[in-house]
Structure 1
Amino acid sequence: MAVTHAGIRTEDRAEQAPRARRGVTRRLVAGMAGLALAAAAVYAQTFTLPYEQRGSALTYQGRIGGIVETSRFSVKVTSVTSARAVDTTDLGGKAVKVGTSNLFLLVDVSATTPREPMQLSELTPPVLLTADGRRYKPTDKVDKTLTLFNKWIQPGFWSAGLLVFEVPKDAIPGARLVFVPPDSLMVSDSFAPEAQIDLGLSGATATRLVSQPEDFHSLTGKS
């Protein structure tokens, strides 16, 4: 009986040894994985900006008629017009007149870039910033192919086009254009520049645009 019992203990040790080695191996692998994750977390924190800094913009100020230069683009507003109705194109390419119970504000913009081409994005578009802080995106009543959104802004060349906003009358006095480049996933673009342009909409100019808008302003030249 003693011999048989001793034989059983020897077999148990033979079976347990590989299990022990596998257990040690798993613990080593888990430990190395933990160290790798910790290192990755430290690395990520090194290059991740605090929440309040993400999306921050470097703001450059300017006025209508002048050029605002930033590190990624230069922009200028040449004129501002108001209208009760404009035209656009339907799916068949036919000109169609559209109106509003508010006003269409048409901002004539030119832009260029120093290095890389860019095209405006509908996800992060230029906006009209009112004196009391409201922001209006370009209207979706006008086909983007009739506006600056359809232009590639190239290095060394000025691309011109309209930005059309549909706004209430009280949004016009003191309004500014906030011009931004298209959004990017690059970390450096967390501080992408923006241009805030004073449109000169005060006093008699604002009164004229509010009280004497054009009845119709053609964007297609076909109506």
Structure 2
Amino acid sequence: MNVRQVLLRGGAGAGGTVLLAGAMWLHSVRPEVRAGELDPIRTDGTVGEKVTTRDFSVRVDGVDAARSLQSGFSIGGARPVGTDGVYLVVRLSATAGHEPLQLASAELETPGGYTFKGGPRTAAASLNQPTLQPMIWTSTKLVFELPKDRVEGAHLVVGTGGLLPQLSSAADIDLKLNRDRAAKLVQSATERYQVRTETS
């Protein structure tokens, strides 16, 4: 083996080592997509006040509690849909900013990291969400089922959703349900709450 072959093999080995080290470094510093970075842009507010986002404005007018839901369009006296927990019915009004849209995402977030969405049982008794028009306020309701001990501290997160949630907007509304208010709300929960017929 001559000197030239030794230098070629040594150079190839050194080059391979440098490439491997570079690949390992790139792997360690690669861009990571964290869940929080995909969340929509939130605008905070509280119950009773107008919360204006880039795409829409919304106001929570009140919160009701129910032990069971009764469909407003039942034929033949359909049985009410009960729960071991409680149904929270959020009454709200909303308007689009510049073009028609729907509030495609709505959930309740509670302390401890719990999130609740309207499920199959609430869908049977809840309203179809209207298309919001600019400068016209529209009233609707959102129904959530959750354990009674998760009512305290709940807040509503409602938004436009979409394929790129990080580019959408959402309103994060504190429902002002401290311990006393949450307890009173649960204790006063009604039976056979008719979501469709009680819209305002």
Shorter-normalised TM-score: what interval?
0.7 to 0.9
SS in structure 1 of the partner of residue 121 of structure 2: coil
Structure 1 residues 163 and 195 mapped into 2: Cα distance closer, same or farther (>3 Å)?
same
Check conservation: 1:127, 1:179, Cα contact below 8 A.
Answer: yes
Structure 1 residues 146 and 168 mapped into 2: Cα distance closer, same or farther (>3 Å)?
closer
Matched, 1:51 2:41: no
Name whichever structure is richer in helix by fraction: 1
Percent identity reads: 30
Q: Which amino acid aligns with 1:158?
A: W
1:103-145 per-position Cα deviation (integer Å, ceiling 9, x unaligned)? 1110001111111111233xxx210000221000013213468
SS in structure 2 of the partner of residue 84 of structure 1: strand
What's the offset of the Cα at 1:72?
Answer: 0.6
| Cα distance between partner residues in 2 of 1:72 and 1:50 | 28
User: Hey, what does 2:177 align to over in structure 1?
Assistant: 201
Correspondence for 1:138 among 110, 118, 123: 118
| Cα distance between partner residues in 1 of 2:66 and 2:89 | 8
User: Hey, what does 1:126 align to over in structure 2?
Assistant: 106
SS in structure 2 of the partner of residue 102 of structure 1: strand
Runs of at least 5 residues in structure 1 that lack an aligned partner in the other structure = 1-48
Q: Which amino acid aligns with 1:152?
A: T
1:58-80 per-position Cα deviation (integer Å, ceiling 9, x unaligned)? 21110000011011111110000
Which one has the largest radius of gyration?
A: 1
Report the count of equivalent residues. Answer: 165
Matched, 1:112 2:95: yes
What's the offset of the Cα at 1:212?
Answer: 2.5
What's the offset of the Cα at 1:220?
Answer: 3.6
TM-score (norm 1): 0.66
| Cα distance between partner residues in 2 of 1:54 and 1:205 | 33
Structure 1 residues 208 and 182 mapped into 2: Cα distance closer, same or farther (>3 Å)?
same
In the TM superposition, 1:50-69 aligns within 5 A as: 51-52=33-34, 55-69=38-52
Correspondence for 2:56 among 70, 73, 81: 73
1:174-200 per-position Cα deviation (integer Å, ceiling 9, x unaligned)? 000001113145xxx533221110001
TM-score (norm 2): 0.73
Matched, 1:217 2:193: yes
